[in-house]
């Protein structure tokens, strides 16, 4: 049985203390076994996802049911460290996607891409194959900007199963991608699903990534807000700032309990 990383409660959401190497190794073990049972799914979890879970309890249930929920954002990393996960680093969706693609290519597993538009998927395919020439992209689907009807959903499920892919990347933003994986985990035995959000746009070249120093400093939000203010202002101005006081209250309660327990 594959041992999954320990999870820590961060403002009600269970976040895995893990690394790129560990997630990649675990996925390789899952994909190397028989295609049986339910699918495994990985959420890359940011402050936005955590705060969304406070507003919509179903989001919390979906994130907490994930096999792995990586810390995708420096505030989540800092919170993990503050609760005992010393040395924790960010496990960022776009970078994780490349790690998993390289592993899949080395082991001969096909991947499937779900999300984006037809044009963006074609760009993404070309860019991925430039970086990883032996990667086998077994299929892809560009969903409409609305929930799929029953016929469309059945088509997608059959297409994924018939493709033979053991790794499915979902790029339709949080929390929609997380719910999609949760709802479909019984449809793809032996498959690993990873919700990687904006990774499709980043790797296709449609959206620029923040410089590495801004990512390390926790300033990626500022870079993305400046790049896409109309789309992202509510997320970064109204939603994300709610995390800090909630984390502070949890930290105070956690350390007060620890002091009392030692007394």
Q: How far apart are the first and last CA of the chain?
A: 39
The residues pairing with 42 across neighbouring beta strands, listed in sequence order, are 68, 194
Quote the pLDDT of residue 233: 67
d(CA 263, CA 257): 10
- Cβ atoms 43, 63 nearer than 8 A: yes
Secondary structure of residue 153 in the 3-state scheme: helix
Query: pLDDT truncated to tens, each residue of the chain (263 aa)?
Result: 678 999 999 999 999 999 999 999 999 999 988 777 789 999 999 999 999 999 899 999 999 999 999 999 899 999 999 999 999 999 999 999 999 999 999 999 999 999 988 999 999 999 999 999 999 999 999 998 888 999 999 999 999 999 999 999 999 988 999 999 999 999 999 999 999 988 998 898 777 776 777 777 777 766 676 777 777 667 767 677 889 899 999 999 887 867 677 76
Q: What is the pLDDT of residue 263?
A: 63
pLDDT, residue 87, reads 92
For the chain, give every domain's residue range.
7-254
What is the structure's pLDDT at 3?
Answer: 86
231/225 Cα distance (integer angstroms): 8
Other CB atoms within 10 Å distance of the CB of residue 46? 25
Query: 185 near 193, Cβ under 8 Å?
Result: yes
User: Which of 212, 241, 201, 7 lies closest to 117, judged by CA?
Assistant: 201
Contact assessment for residue 197 and residue 93, using Cβ atoms and an 8 Å cutoff? yes
Q: Which two three-digit tokens encode residue 27? A: 């996925």
């Amino acid at each position: 049985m594959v041992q999954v990383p320990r999870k820590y409660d961060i403002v009600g959401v269970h976040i895995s203390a893990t690394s790129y190497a560990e997630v990649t190794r675990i996925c390789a073990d899952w994909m190397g076994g028989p295609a049986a049972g339910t699918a495994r799914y990985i959420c890359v979890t940011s402050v936005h996802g955590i705060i969304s879970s406070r507003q919509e309890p179903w989001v919390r249930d979906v994130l907490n049911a994930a096999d792995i929920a990586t810390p995708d954002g420096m505030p989540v990393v800092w919170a993990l460290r503050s609760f005992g996960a010393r040395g924790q680093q960010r496990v960022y969706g776009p970078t994780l996607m490349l790690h998993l693609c390289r592993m899949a290519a080395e082991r001969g597993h096909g991947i499937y891409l779900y999300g984006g538009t037809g044009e963006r998927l074609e760009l993404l395919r070309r860019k991925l194959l430039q970086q990883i020439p032996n990667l086998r992209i077994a299929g892809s689907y560009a969903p409409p900007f609305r929930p799929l009807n029953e016929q469309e959903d059945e088509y997608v499920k059959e297409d994924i199963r018939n493709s033979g892919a053991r790794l499915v990347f979902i790029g339709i933003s949080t929390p929609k991608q997380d719910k999609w994986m949760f709802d479909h985990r019984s449809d793809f035995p032996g498959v690993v699903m990873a919700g990687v959000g904006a990774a499709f746009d980043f790797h296709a070249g449609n959206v620029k990534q923040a410089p590495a120093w801004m990512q390390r400093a926790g300033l990626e939000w500022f870079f993305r807000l400046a790049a896409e203010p109309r789309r992202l202002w509510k997320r970064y101005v109204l939603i994300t700032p709610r995390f800090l006081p909630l984390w502070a209250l949890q930290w105070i309660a956690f350390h007060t309990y620890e002091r009392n327990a030692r007394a």
